[in-house]
Structure 1
């Protein structure tokens, strides 16, 4: 197979995968929503969860995206240096977005800043966003696909705390944000928290945290305990599904962290809405693929 044929093949795979993600939630999100539905005892909360379930059913039957805001496409590429298409990936991902925009169809969400016009393709200057993790001596490529909506992930928050504020300051920052804009982000939410040495590193980690499977925990025991404490704290606010009240407000809380400068604690929060549209696909060097976020996917 020539390079041109390989590029065309993986472009088609990614276009179909993006379209699929727009219409069908990951298995872990669907399972968690059903779990929360069973736990809620408020009649209104149960009706809202039943509506969410019906929304998913209709999206499948009508072959349409499950939310009108199909977001800005964001990709996290974890690519081996020996993967045969590493040089072509960024360009072909943009092409896949353009194809999916027509195929799915996706709402046109790329507006050029200053010139103020919608490109109509979901591709513009810097969009879609592609972040890279390069893996030496590997010939495989993992791609996380995420639809970042205007009401949830895109209005993220970040700041640098003074060291004396400690982890109590981190908790206060997260809870303050949840009580202010959490209501508008379509709960129940998946809350991603980044703790690092600066605003930009914390912000990136908070987004990366949203790619983790629901129910997973930080490998650091103290960080995992903080995840649970924050989950309990946000649930106690009582946002409930769609902010209409209930015992459960989150799908989970995920913390990602790095070492920090002694004088700073960078912290950031990003959230995924109940319609948390993310996918994970892994390619080997022959372009065989595995999808571990959605069952029964054939591209």
Structure 2
């Protein structure tokens, strides 16, 4: 396949995939919400979970987005240094966003800052947002597509703590944010927490934590314990699905971390709403693909 044909093929694949994830939640999220429904005892909460499931079924059947806010499109890229279209990926994903906006259809959510003008295309300066990692020697690319909604993911928060505040300060920050904003983010939430050395590195890691499977656990046992304790503490608040009380407020808490300066603890939180619209796809060198987030899907 020549480069022009490969570029067209990849653009078409990513446009279809971006459009699709607005209509159907990932397999792990659907499974987790079914589990939470079975654990619920509040009749109102049970009804909410049933309505959520019906909403998802209708979105799939009618080929419509499952939430009116289809968000700002963000792509998290792990690209092999030998991937044939490495240099073309930025333009491919911009054109894929244009295509998905028409195919979805996606709501027009890109407003040029300071001009206060909606572009009408979901593209604009530095939008779609691209986050890059290079895999040395590989010839494939793995792309996470995320629809960051205005009420859930985008109002994240980050802060740099003094070392004396310790990991108790991390937990306090997370709980403060959840108690002040969690209801608006449409629970049950997936909570991503970044613990790092500065505000911006922690914020990036908190977003990447949202891309992990709902039931994943941090490889460090101390961090995994904090994930469990934060999940238990947030659920104990009793906020429940859609903020109308219930046994569970979160689908899970995922932590991503890095080494840090000894004088600082950077912490950030990002939240994914119940309609946690993310997808992961692997693109091979010949532009064939494998969808990793949604079982049994053909584009």
- Are 2:42 and 1:42 aligned? yes
> C-alpha separation between the residues in 2 aligned to 1:237 and 1:183?
11
- Corresponding residue number in structure 2 for 1:267: 267
Deviations 1:171-193 (A, max 9, x none): 00000000000010000000000
Deviations 1:233-287 (A, max 9, x none): 0000111000000010001000000000010000000000000000000011111
Task: Give the superposition deviation at 1:160.
Answer: 0.2
Q: What is the TM-score of this pair, normalised by structure 2?
A: 0.99
> C-alpha separation between the residues in 1 aligned to 2:260 and 2:104?
42
> C-alpha separation between the residues in 1 aligned to 2:183 and 2:67?
17
- Corresponding residue number in structure 1 for 2:51: 51
Q: What is the TM-score of this pair, normalised by structure 1?
A: 0.99
Please state whether the residue corresponding to 2:191 is helix, strand or coil: strand
> C-alpha separation between the residues in 2 aligned to 1:222 and 1:32?
24
- Corresponding residue number in structure 2 for 1:81: 81
Deviations 1:109-140 (A, max 9, x none): 00001111100000001111000001111111
Task: Give the superposition deviation at 1:78.
Answer: 0.2
> C-alpha separation between the residues in 2 aligned to 1:213 and 1:182?
20
- Corresponding residue number in structure 2 for 1:151: 151
**1:243-258 pair list within 5 angstroms:** 243-258=243-258
> C-alpha separation between the residues in 1 aligned to 2:61 and 2:290?
25
**Displaced runs of 4 or more, over 2 A:** none
**1:56-71 pair list within 5 angstroms:** 56-71=56-71
- Corresponding residue number in structure 2 for 1:196: 196
**1:18-167 pair list within 5 angstroms:** 18-167=18-167
Please state whether the residue corresponding to 2:60 is helix, strand or coil: helix
- Corresponding residue number in structure 1 for 2:15: 15
Structure 1 segments unaligned to the other structure (5+ residues)? none
Please state whether the residue corresponding to 1:181 is helix, strand or coil: helix
Task: Give the superposition deviation at 1:60.
Answer: 1.1
> C-alpha separation between the residues in 2 aligned to 1:150 and 1:103?
21
Structure 2 segments unaligned to the other structure (5+ residues)? none
Number of aligned residue pairs: give it: 299
- Are 2:281 and 1:298 aligned? no
Task: Give the superposition deviation at 1:298.
Answer: 1.1
**1:146-225 pair list within 5 angstroms:** 146-225=146-225
